[in-house]
C-alpha cells in the first residue's frame, strides 16, 4: 500500500476541500433563526473549530521540513488544540441537543471539558517542552513522548458520546440515533489506515459526519418552528372562538325574546331552529380544520331564519351559488352575513337585500356577501381605527387555517361587498383537513 502521508499535494487538497465544505455548513448554521437555539450556537463554534483544525493540519503539510519553524509550531498547535476543542464542543453540543428533548445532565460534558483542558495545556506547552510534538534540526515534525494521548483521546470521547446517545435513545428517536452514532461507523476505516495515512482521513470523516449532524439539527430546527407556529395558531384559534360564541348567542337569544312576545308557537319553532343551529355550530367549532361550504351555508341559513323573524319583509335574501365543493373555516361566512344585517340593513327604514354568491377561478374559490345598505367610507374607518370584531376574527382564521384572505369594498350609500378568497389546493377542491394547522 502506498504511503499517503508523503503525498503532500493530495493531503493539502483534501484538507482544504474539507475545510471549504465546513465553511458552507457554518454559513448555513449562522442563519438568524438557528442561532437562537443553544445546540445550534454550539454547533457553529464546533464547525469553526473544525475549519481552524484542518487549516492547521494543511499548514503542517506545507511547512513540514521547511525553515519556518515558528509557523510550523503554530500549525501544530492549531491542529492538536483544534482536535481537543472539537471533542469538548461536540460533547456540549450533543448534550444541549438532547436537553431539548429530555432532562440530561452536563456532567459528562464537564468531565470531557476538564480532560480537554488538561490536554490543551500540554498542546500549548509542547513548543517548549516537546511532550506532544517537537521539530527536529531539519525542520520536520516529530511526535513527543505523550503523543499517544492524541490518538487515544478521540476513541475515548467517541465511546462516551455513544453511551450518551444510547442512554437517551428514546428522546432522540431512530433517525437521531442513526445519524449520531454514525461517527463510530465512520471512524472504523480511518483507524485501519493509521499506519499508512493519518490524520487526514479522520478529519475528512469528521466533516462528513458534521454534514449528517447539520441535516439532523436543521430538521429539528424546522420541526421546532412548525410546532411553535401550530401552537400559536391553536391559541389564536381558541381565543377567536371564545370571542365569537358569546356574540352569536346574545344576538340569537335577543331574537327569541322578541318572538316570545309576538307569537309563542313561532317562538317555539325558532327555539327549535336555534337549538339545531347551536348543536351544529358547536360541533363544527370543535374542529380546527375546515368544514364543507354547504355546512357553513346551513349555519348562515339558521342565522338568517332568526333575523327574518325579526325584520320580516324588510330583509330580503338572494343566492347565487355557482360552486360549493370546497372547504372553509368553521363560522367564517356567518359573521360576515351578520355584519351585513347589523350595519348595512338594520339601520335602513326600507330594509334591504343580502346576497350570498360563490364562484371560482383557476387559483381560488370566492365567496361574496353583498348588501345594498348604508355602506361606509373605508379610508375614514381606518383613520378612526375602528374595526368589527367578527370581521377581524374571520380574517385571522382565514390566514391561519388556509392562507385565505378577506377583502372589503364599500362606499357611503352604496352598500358593501365582502369577498372571501380560499386558495385552491390538491386538484382544485379547496384546502383539506391535512392543510389545517
Task: Report the alpha-carbon distance of residue 255 to residue 311 in Å, rounded.
Answer: 10
298: cell is 346551513
Q: Residues near 46 by Cβ (< 8 Å), separated by ≥ 6?
A: 86, 89, 90, 93, 210
Region for residue 64 given its phi and psi (left: phi exceeds 0; alpha: psi -120 to 50; beta: otherwise): beta
Residue 319 has a CB neighbour count (10 Å cut-off) of 12
| 199 prior amide bond cis, ω within 30 | yes
Does the pTM of the predicted model rise above 0.75? no
Task: Report the alpha-carbon distance of residue 130 to residue 415 in Å, rounded.
Answer: 90
- Bridge partners of 290? 329
pLDDT reported for residue 121:
93
Q: What is the DSSP string of 127-188?
A: HHH-SSEEE-TTS-EEE-TTTHHHHHHHHHHHHHHHHHHHHTHHHHHHHHHHHHHHHHHHHH
pLDDT reported for residue 436:
42
Q: Say whether pLDDT at 195 is over 90.
A: no
192: cell is 485501519
- 45, 89 contact by CB (below 8 A): yes
- The β-bridge relationship of strands 352-360 and 315-321 is parallel
Q: Which of 1-5, 270-274, 349-353, 375-379 has the highest mean pLDDT?
A: 270-274
Count of all residues that appear for the chain in the document: 437
Task: Report the alpha-carbon distance of residue 166 to residue 325 in Å, rounded.
Answer: 51
Task: Report the alpha-carbon distance of residue 296 to residue 277 in Å, rounded.
Answer: 11
Backbone phi and psi for residue 428, each to the nearest 5 degrees, phi listed first: 80, 20
Confidence of residue 390 (pLDDT cuts 50, 70, 90): low
* pLDDT tens column, 260-298: 887 888 888 888 888 887 787 777 766 667 889 999 999
* pLDDT tens column, 42-91: 999 999 999 999 999 999 999 998 989 999 999 999 999 998 898 899 88
- 197, 4 contact by CB (below 8 A): yes
* pLDDT tens column, 114-141: 988 999 999 999 999 999 999 999 999 8
Between 179 and 288, the more confident residue is 179
pLDDT reported for residue 134:
93
Amino acid at each position: 500500500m502506498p504511503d499517503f502521508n508523503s503525498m503532500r499535494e493530495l493531503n493539502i487538497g483534501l484538507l482544504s476541500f474539507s475545510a471549504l465544505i465546513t465553511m458552507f455548513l457554518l454559513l448555513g448554521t449562522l442563519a438568524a433563526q438557528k442561532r437562537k437555539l443553544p445546540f445550534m450556537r454550539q454547533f457553529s463554534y464546533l464547525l469553526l473549530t473544525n475549519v481552524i483544525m484542518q487549516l492547521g493540519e494543511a499548514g503542517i503539510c506545507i511547512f513540514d521540513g521547511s525553515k519556518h519553524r515558528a509557523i510550523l509550531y503554530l500549525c501544530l498547535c492549531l491542529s492538536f488544540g483544534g482536535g481537543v476543542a472539537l471533542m469538548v464542543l461536540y460533547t456540549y453540543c450533543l448534550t444541549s441537543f438532547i436537553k431539548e428533548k429530555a432532562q440530561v445532565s452536563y456532567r459528562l460534558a464537564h468531565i470531557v471539558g476538564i480532560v480537554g483542558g488538561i490536554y490543551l495545556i500540554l498542546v500549548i506547552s509542547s513548543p517548549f517542552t516537546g511532550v506532544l510534538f517537537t521539530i527536529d534540526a531539519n525542520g520536520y515534525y516529530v511526535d513527543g513522548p505523550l503523543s499517544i494521548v492524541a490518538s487515544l483521546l478521540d476513541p475515548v470521547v467517541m465511546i462516551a458520546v455513544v453511551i450518551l446517545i444510547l442512554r437517551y435513545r428514546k428522546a432522540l428517536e431512530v433517525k437521531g440515533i442513526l445519524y449520531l452514532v454514525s461517527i463510530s461507523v465512520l471512524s472504523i476505516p480511518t483507524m485501519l489506515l493509521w499506519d499508512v495515512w493519518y490524520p487526514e482521513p479522520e478529519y475528512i470523516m469528521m466533516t462528513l459526519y458534521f454534514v449528517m449532524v447539520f441535516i439532523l439539527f436543521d430538521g429539528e430546527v424546522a420541526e421546532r418552528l412548525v410546532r411553535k407556529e401550530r401552537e400559536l395558531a391553536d391559541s389564536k384559534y381558541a381565543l377567536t372562538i371564545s370571542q365569537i360564541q358569546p356574540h352569536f348567542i346574545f344576538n340569537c337569544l335577543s331574537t327569541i325574546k322578541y318572538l316570545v312576545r309576538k307569537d309563542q308557537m313561532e317562538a317555539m319553532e325558532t327555539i327549535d331552529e336555534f337549538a339545531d343551529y347551536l348543536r351544529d355550530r358547536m360541533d363544527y367549532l370543535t374542529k380546527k380544520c375546515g368544514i364543507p361550504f354547504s355546512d357553513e351555508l346551513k349555519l348562515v341559513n339558521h342565522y338568517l331564519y332568526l333575523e327574518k323573524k325579526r325584520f320580516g319583509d324588510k330583509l330580503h335574501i338572494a343566492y347565487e351559488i355557482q360552486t360549493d365543493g370546497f372547504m372553509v373555516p368553521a363560522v367564517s361566512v356567518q359573521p360576515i352575513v351578520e355584519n351585513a344585517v347589523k350595519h348595512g340593513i338594520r339601520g335602513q327604514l326600507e330594509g334591504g337585500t343580502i346576497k350570498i354568491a360563490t364562484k371560482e377561478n383557476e387559483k381560488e374559490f370566492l365567496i361574496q356577501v353583498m348588501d345594498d345598505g348604508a355602506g361606509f367610507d373605508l379610508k375614514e374607518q381606518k383613520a378612526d381605527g375602528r374595526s368589527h370584531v367578527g370581521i377581524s376574527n374571520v380574517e385571522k382564521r382565514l390566514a391561519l387555517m388556509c392562507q385565505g384572505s378577506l377583502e372589503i369594498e364599500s362606499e357611503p350609500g352604496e352598500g358593501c361587498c365582502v369577498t372571501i378568497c380560499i386558495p385552491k389546493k390538491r386538484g382544485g377542491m379547496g384546502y383539506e383537513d391535512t392543510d389545517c394547522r
